[in-house]
Amino acid sequence: MFLKKAERKAVVSRKESLNSVVVKNEHITEDKKENGEIALTVEGDTHSLLARIMIHVFGLPRKKEIILDSRGSFIWDCCNGSVTVGEMIERFSEKFNVNRKESEVSIMHFIKSLAKKGLAGAVIREDAAKGADSAACE
Amino acid sequence: MNEEKYYTFGWHGISFGIPENWELARETGNRKEGSVRLDGIYAPRFEVAWKKPDKHYNLKAVFGRYRNDVEKSARRKGQDPGEIEILGGFTESLPGRETCVFRWGSGDPVYECVSFCRECYRLVFMRYMPQDDADPAPRAKRIFSSLRDHSENGDELWSFLGLHFYMPGNFSLENAVLNSGFIRMDFSDRKETVSVIMISLAQELLEERDLTDIMRFYLKKDLKHFRNMDFKEESMHGHAGVIGRPVKREGRLRRILFPEKGCIRVFGWLCKQNNKIFIAKAFSLSEQGLDEAASMHAHIRCHSCS
């Protein structure tokens, strides 16, 4: 009665995750610097009364800036909704001369941290998932 | 049709040839008993487990038990084990071993091999899981027949994410950090210890600091008793490298008060072809042992032609 029914986590197969695409949060502004690094500016929550009070009392910044290094900027550029995670891995390993598995682990971790911070999200494309089943990639 | 490229994978003295895009995904255990799993791009493809058999060893009994386990676990997972078909003529190229190869499962059948070597006295279980492979039987045959469960010359192959090297069989793996971008494996032979480190994205790292600084940073704990190290530039494996040796303490009294705790030598080089930094550390209690341990850096294969 008082016990909450455990929420079922959606199980995403490796095929699906590699064929998904990453889309950026539209509310984020990005600024490309001369050295190729990208600075992301995230607007803080200023709509709620509590947030406004906190900003006034503690002098919290209204905007948050995240600077991505050359590797992060490269992945961020690929997050345009058309490049799949699998393609991203291939491009990254080619550009930085890294083993495929190494770049897969690093990119997956990076995408997860982007999603946690609300900067981007992964979209599983239905057509891509179906296509992946039929394609003999190995 | 392009022929598939294979490479030799090795772990705890067991080695076999596998397709280029399979990589180690999980490892457990030690030399006596353990397992590894190798994944392809989308799914697990190959599993190997090894152990020392009981005193009253009998391959038929081992195979019978293994077969029952396979059937049970398949049913538990909701798979249809189908009929178990024993395949002959699969491993003629494995002399001195007792082997049994079989295939089970409906749909994509799973290929299994149980092998026992009297020389190293180890039982090896191999499982190949084909995933939409056009012709899995020749591939299974090629992998199973390439099994080597002990080395002929005593040097054992270790490989992980592009790091391949040979280590004498008397050195056992003590500690391993297997991260993407940073790999460190420490081996020990009671008196001598050898550490092998591989760091990815080398060019990007070297923009901020030089090779000596990187070596000092990653060997911070190892060099804490050797404060004065002398790093000299030297060519290694055809690349620009650095060799570090401790500077002998001046003054007899100093040497008596602060005696050196063993001998150390460190090697580091940048492989531009792979964009990786390789570091090898050899430590020994005696100068003679150090020379032997230090020679092991030559067995690291940093790129395909070395």
Is the domain spanning B155-301 CATH 3.40.1000.10? The answer is: yes
User: Which chain A residue has the Cα nearest residue B132?
Assistant: A136
- Write down the domain spans for chain B: 6-145, 155-301
With CB atoms and an 8 Å threshold, state whether A138 touches B133.
Answer: yes
Integer Cα distance of B281 and B288 in angstroms: 15
Q: Does A38 touch chain B (CB under 8 A)?
A: no
pTM to 2 decimals?
0.83
B96-138 pLDDT tens trace: 778 888 888 777 788 888 888 888 888 899 999 987 677 788 8
C-alpha atoms less than 13 angstroms from C-alpha of B94 in its C-beta half-sphere: 29
Note whether B127 and B111 are within 8 A (CB).
yes
| CATH class of the domain defined by B6-145 | alpha beta
With CB atoms and an 8 Å threshold, state whether A102 touches B200.
Answer: yes
The Cα-based distances of A20 to A59, A80, A104, A109, A125 in angstroms read 40, 12, 13, 15, 6
Nearest-neighbour CA in chain A from B208: distance (Å) = 13
Q: Is a pLDDT exceeding 50 seen at residue A66?
A: yes
Q: Does A70 touch chain B (CB under 8 A)?
A: yes
pLDDT range class, residue A2, cuts 50, 70, 90: low
A83-123 pLDDT tens trace: 999 999 999 999 998 988 899 999 999 999 999 988 999 89
Residues A5-21 have a mean pLDDT of 80
Q: Does B132 touch chain A (CB under 8 A)?
A: yes
- Per residue of chain B (306 residues), give pLDDT as tens: 567 789 999 999 999 999 988 999 999 999 889 999 999 888 889 999 999 887 777 777 877 888 788 888 878 877 776 777 777 766 665 667 788 888 887 777 888 888 888 888 888 999 999 876 777 888 888 898 889 888 888 889 999 988 899 998 889 999 999 988 899 999 998 888 999 999 999 988 898 889 999 999 999 988 888 878 889 998 888 888 999 988 877 777 777 777 667 888 999 999 988 899 999 999 988 877 788 777 887 888 877 544
The single-letter code of the amino acid at A105 is: V
Q: Does A26 touch chain B (CB under 8 A)?
A: no
**Closest CB from B131, B132, B180 relative to A102:** B180
Mutate to test the interface with A, among B6, B41, B177 (most CBs of A within 10 A): B41
- Write down the domain spans for chain A: 14-134
B148-193 pLDDT tens trace: 888 888 889 999 988 899 998 889 999 999 988 899 999 998 888 9
Chain B stretch 202-231, residues whose beta carbon is closer than 8 A to a beta carbon of chain A: 204
Architecture field, domain A14-134: Alpha-Beta Complex (3.90)
pLDDT number for residue B305: 45
With CB atoms and an 8 Å threshold, state whether A96 touches B201.
Answer: yes
C-alpha atoms less than 13 angstroms from C-alpha of B121 in its C-beta half-sphere: 7
Q: Does B1 touch chain A (CB under 8 A)?
A: no
Tell me the average pLDDT of chain A.
Answer: 82
Mutate to test the interface with B, among A101, A105, A107 (most CBs of B within 10 A): A101
